[in-house]
C-alpha cells in the first residue's frame, strides 16, 4: 500500500507538475538502476531524466530549469572523482533555494547527515538501495502538500511578515495535528520570540530539539538569541551544535570568536584550526573567505594568528592568481603593523611574482620600505606604481599625502606639489596638505636656477594645473578601479629613519 502511494507521488510530480530528475553521478550502476526504476517500475517515459558526470554541466542544467520554472529533484553523489561535492551543494542551494536535493553515499554518519540537512539537503540515500527505497526517498523529497504542510507554510508566511500573534495561533493548529512536531515547536518559538516572550520561546526551542535531536534549527535559534543578548549561554548552544554537526567550518569560527571575546586565545586557536581543516577538506571554495573572516576577528587582538592563517592559505593553494592578492596585501599590512617591514617586503615580492602590473602592490611595498627607512627604494616603488597607472591614487587623501610627503622629504618639491593639490581638490579644508603644499612651494628655487625641464611639467604650466598624463615617467593606462573613500589621511609627516605613525594602505 505504501509502495503504491510513493509511486503515485513520483508519478504526479513528473506527469502532473511536469517535474524532472537530474542526477550528478559517476556511478554507472546507479544510473542504469534509476532509469529502470522510472521507466519500467513507475512506467514513465520521455525526457525526464538528465544524467551528468561534471558539476559544471549539472549546475548549468539546474539553473536552466530554475529559470524556466520547471520543478526538479537532484540526486548528488557525496564524492565525485574522489572529491566531496559540498561546494556544489552549497552553490546550488544558494542559487536555487527551492531545489530538492538527495545525497547519494556509500556510508553515512550522524555528523555528515546533520551537516547535509543544515545545507538544505532533503534526503540522504545510502547505497546500495532497493528500487522501492529509491522511490520512497524520491517521494519524501518531493513532499506533496498535506494539511500539516499547508499550516506550516501559512505559519512561515506569517512569521516572515511579522504577524507573530496570528502565527502563534497557527502553531496551535499545527501541534494539534502533530503534537511532537519539531518544526511546529520551532515555529512556536519564533512566534513567542516575536512578541517578546523570550523565556517561553527558549522552552519551545528546547522542546523542538528534544523531539528531534538531529533537527538543528531550534539550537541555532537559541544560539542566535543569546548571542544578540551577549549571554554566555550562546557559546554552550554553539558547541552543542558543533557536536551534532562538526563539519560546519563557519560555526567553528563563530565559536572561536566567542573565545576571543573572553580573551581565551588558546581555545580560539584550536577551533580556528579545526575550522580551516574542515574547509580545506569539505568546501575548498570557502577557504579564502573563511581566512578573511578569521583575520578580521583576530588581527586586532592576536595578530600572530592572522599571520598564521594568511600564510596557510597562501602556502597551501596550488595555483595563486590575482584574486589571491588580497591575502598578500593583508599579510603585508599586518606584518608592518608588527614592525616587521622587511618580512612585509618579501610578501609583496611574492605578490609581484603573481601579477607585476598592479600599482597597489608596488605602492604598499613602497610603504614597507619607507617604514624601514629605505626612502629612495620606497620612492622607486611609488614611481613604479605611477608608471603603471598615473591616477591609481585618485580619490584617496591618504595615498596622495603619502606620495607627496615622500617627495617633500627627498626635497623633490615640484614633484610633491600635485599630490598635495589633489588632496585639496578632494578636501579643501585639509590643513596638513595645505601646510605641506606651502612648504613645497616656498622651497622651490627661483626659475633662473631650476634644473632643466624634467619632463614632469609642461613649460609655463603652474603647479595648480599639473597634468599627470603629461609625465613621461608615469605614462600608463588605468585598468583597475579602487574603493578608497574610507581611507584615512596620515597622522603626520613621515620623518627619515622614524617608524610608526599612520600610513594609508590601499586595497586590491
What is the Cα–Cα distance from 328 to 354, expressed in whole angstroms?
Answer: 11
Where does residue 162 fall: left (phi above 0), alpha (psi -120 to 50 degrees), or beta otherwise?
A: left
Is 233 contained in some domain? yes
Is 454 contained in some domain? no
Is the per-residue pLDDT at 508 higher than 80?
no
Q: Mean pLDDT throughout 341-346? A: 93
Three cell numbers, residue 248: 560546519
pLDDT at position 92: 94
Say yes or no: 117 and 198 in one domain: no
Q: What is the pLDDT of residues 212-239, one digit of tens each?
A: 877 788 888 888 877 877 777 888 889 9
Say yes or no: 299 and 348 in one domain: no
Please tell me whether the peptide bond between 128 and the residue prior to it is cis, using omega within 30 degrees of 0.
Answer: yes
pLDDT at position 505: 64
What is the Cα–Cα distance from 422 to 464, expressed in whole angstroms?
Answer: 9
Is the per-residue pLDDT at 503 higher than 70?
no
DSSP output for 129-181: --HHHHHHHHHHHH----HHHHHHHHHHHHHHTT-HHHHHHHHHHHHHH-TT-
Last residue of a domain, one of 196, 211, 245: 245
Higher pLDDT, 360 or 217: 360
Q: Tell me the three state secondary structure of residue 294.
A: helix
Last residue of a domain, one of 318, 349, 372: 318
What is the Cα–Cα distance from 143 to 139, expressed in whole angstroms?
Answer: 6
Q: Are 190 and 159 in contact (CB under 8 A)?
A: yes
What is the Cα–Cα distance from 293 to 306, expressed in whole angstroms?
Answer: 10
Tell me the chain's radius of gyration from C-alpha atoms. Answer: 31
Is 161 contained in some domain? yes
* CATH of residue 47: 3.40.50.2300
Confidence of residue 356 (pLDDT cuts 50, 70, 90): confident
Q: What is the pLDDT of residues 407-465, one digit of tens each?
A: 999 999 999 999 999 999 999 999 999 999 999 999 887 664 444 444 443 333 333 32
Is 60 contained in some domain? yes
Residues 6 or more apart whose Cβ sits within 8 Å of residue 180: 211
Last residue of a domain, one of 227, 245, 263: 245
Backbone dihedral angles phi then psi of residue 72, each to the nearest 5 degrees: -150, 155
Match 606651502 to its residue by C-alpha cell: 438
Domain that holds residue 494: 335-445+463-508
| CA-to-CA separations, 405 to 150, 269, 435, 444, in angstroms, rounded | 68, 40, 11, 15
pLDDT at position 472: 29
Average pLDDT of the residues of the chain: 82
Q: Mean pLDDT throughout 2-28? A: 86
Q: Are 405 and 494 in contact (CB under 8 A)?
A: yes
Say yes or no: 423 and 497 in one domain: yes
pLDDT at position 459: 35
| CA-to-CA separations, 110 to 83, 266, 281, 306, in angstroms, rounded | 20, 28, 18, 33
Which residues make beta-bridge pairs with 101?
Answer: 74
pLDDT at position 145: 65
Say yes or no: 95 and 184 in one domain: no
pLDDT at position 148: 83
Three cell numbers, residue 378: 620606497
pLDDT at position 177: 84
Higher pLDDT, 507 or 240: 240
Q: Where are the alpha helices (DSSP H) in 301-392?
A: 303-316, 325-337, 341-354, 359-371, 375-388
Say yes or no: 199 and 63 in one domain: no
Q: What is the pLDDT of residues 50-63, one digit of tens each?
A: 999 999 999 999 99
DSSP output for 180-224: T-HHHHHHHHHHHHHTT-HHHHHHHHHHHHHH-TT--HHHHHHHH
Least confident piece of the model among 135-144, 316-325, 387-396:
316-325
Say yes or no: 30 and 81 in one domain: yes
Beta carbons within 10 angstroms of residue 230's beta carbon: 8
Residues 6 or more apart whose Cβ sits within 8 Å of residue 250: 275, 286, 290, 293
Count of domains observed in the chain: 4
Is 458 contained in some domain? no
Q: What angle do CA 26, 28, 29 make, to 5 degrees?
A: 130
Say yes or no: 103 and 161 in one domain: no
Three cell numbers, residue 43: 512506467
pLDDT at position 286: 75
Quick one: which of 131, 67, 51, 136 has its CA closest to 99? 67
Quick one: which of 241, 268, 244 has its CA closest to 255? 268
408's enclosing H/E stretch is: helix 397-409
Is 328 contained in some domain? no
Q: What is the pLDDT of residues 126-185, one digit of tens each?
A: 988 888 888 888 888 887 667 888 898 899 999 999 999 999 999 998 898 888 888 899
Q: Mean pLDDT throughout 257-274? A: 91
Say yes or no: 439 and 356 in one domain: yes
Say yes or no: 11 and 131 in one domain: yes
| CA-to-CA separations, 181 to 147, 224, 305, 339, in angstroms, rounded | 13, 22, 44, 58
pTM, two decimals, is 0.65
Match 626635497 to its residue by C-alpha cell: 411
Which residues make beta-bridge pairs with 74?
Answer: 22, 101
Q: Are 97 and 105 in contact (CB under 8 A)?
A: no
Say yes or no: 159 and 234 in one domain: yes
Is 279 contained in some domain? yes
Say yes or no: 133 and 160 in one domain: no
Q: Mean pLDDT throughout 305-314? A: 87
Say yes or no: 114 and 14 in one domain: yes
* CATH of residue 346: 1.25.40.10
Is 384 contained in some domain? yes
Q: What is the pLDDT of residues 270-293, one digit of tens each?
A: 999 999 888 888 877 778 788 888
Match 560546519 to its residue by C-alpha cell: 248
pLDDT at position 171: 92
pLDDT at position 46: 67
Amino acid at each position: 500500500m505504501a509502495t503504491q502511494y510513493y509511486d503515485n507521488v513520483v508519478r504526479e510530480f513528473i506527469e502532473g507538475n511536469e517535474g524532472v530528475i537530474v542526477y550528478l553521478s559517476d556511478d554507472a550502476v546507479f544510473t542504469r538502476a534509476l532509469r529502470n526504476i522510472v521507466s519500467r517500475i513507475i512506467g514513465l517515459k520521455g525526457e525526464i531524466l538528465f544524467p551528468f558526470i561534471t558539476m559544471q554541466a549539472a549546475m548549468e542544467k539546474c539553473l536552466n530549469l530554475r529559470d524556466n520554472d520547471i520543478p526538479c529533484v537532484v540526486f548528488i553523489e557525496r564524492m565525485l572523482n574522489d572529491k566531496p561535492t559540498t561546494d556544489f551543494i552549497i552553490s546550488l542551494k544558494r542559487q536555487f533555494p527551492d531545489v530538492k536535493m538527495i545525497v547519494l553515499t556509500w556510508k553515512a554518519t550522524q555528523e555528515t547527515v546533520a551537516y547535509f540537512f543544515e545545507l538544505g539537503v532533503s534526503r540522504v540515500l545510502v547505497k546500495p538501495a532497493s528500487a522501492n527505497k529509491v522511490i520512497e526517498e524520491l517521494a519524501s523529497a518531493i513532499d506533496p502538500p498535506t494539511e500539516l504542510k499547508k499550516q506550516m507554510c501559512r505559519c512561515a508566511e506569517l512569521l516572515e511578515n511579522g504577524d507573530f500573534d496570528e502565527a502563534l495561533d497557527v502553531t496551535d493548529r499545527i501541534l494539534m495535528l502533530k503534537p511532537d512536531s519539531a518544526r511546529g515547536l520551532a515555529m512556536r518559538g519564533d512566534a513567542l520570540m516575536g512578541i517578546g516572550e523570550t523565556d517561553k520561546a527558549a522552552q519551545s526551542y528546547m522542546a523542538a530539539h528534544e523531539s528531534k535531536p538531529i533537527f538543528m534549527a531550534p539550537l541555532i535559534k537559541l544560539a542566535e538569541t543569546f548571542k544578540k543578548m551577549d549571554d554566555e549561554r550562546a557559546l554552550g548552544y554553539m558547541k552543542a551544535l558543533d557536536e551534532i554537526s562538526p563539519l560546519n567550518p563557519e560555526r567553528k569560527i563563530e565559536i572561536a570568536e566567542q573565545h576571543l571575546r573572553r580573551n581565551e586565545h588558546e581555545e580560539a586557536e584550536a577551533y580556528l584550526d579545526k575550522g580551516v581543516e574542515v574547509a580545506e577538506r569539505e568546501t575548498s571554495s570557502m577557504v579564502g573567505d573563511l581566512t578573511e573572516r578569521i583575520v578580521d576577528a583576530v588581527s586586532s587582538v592576536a595578530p600572530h594568528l592572522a599571520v598564521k592563517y594568511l600564510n596557510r592559505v597562501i602556502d597551501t593553494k596550488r595555483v595563486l592568481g590575482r584574486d589571491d592578492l588580497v591575502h598578500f596585501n593583508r599579510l603585508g599590512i599586518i606584518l608592518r603593523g608588527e614592525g616587521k617591514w622587511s618580512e612585509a617586503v618579501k610578501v609583496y615580492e611574492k605578490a609581484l611574482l603573481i601579477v607585476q602590473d598592479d600599482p597597489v602592490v608596488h605602492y604598499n611595498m613602497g610603504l614597507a620600505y619607507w617604514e624601514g627607512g629605505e626612502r629612495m627604494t620606497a620612492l622607486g616603488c611609488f614611481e613604479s606604481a605611477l608608471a603603471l597607472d598615473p591616477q591609481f591614487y585618485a580619490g584617496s587623501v591618504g595615498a596622495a599625502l603619502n606620495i607627496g610627503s615622500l617627495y617633500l622629504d627627498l626635497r623633490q618639491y615640484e614633484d610633491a606639489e600635485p599630490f598635495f593639490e589633489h588632496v585639496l581638490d578632494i578636501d579643501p579644508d585639509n590643513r596638513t596638505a595645505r601646510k605641506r603644499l606651502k612648504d613645497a612651494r616656498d622651497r622651490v628655487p627661483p626659475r633662473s636656477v631650476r634644473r632643466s625641464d624634467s619632463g614632469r611639467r609642461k613649460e609655463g604650466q603652474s603647479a595648480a594645473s599639473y597634468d599627470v598624463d603629461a609625465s613621461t615617467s608615469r605614462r600608463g593606462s588605468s585598468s583597475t578601479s579602487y574603493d578608497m573613500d574610507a581611507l584615512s589621511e596620515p597622522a603626520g609627516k613621515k620623518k627619515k629613519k622614524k617608524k610608526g605613525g599612520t600610513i594609508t594602505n590601499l586595497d586590491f
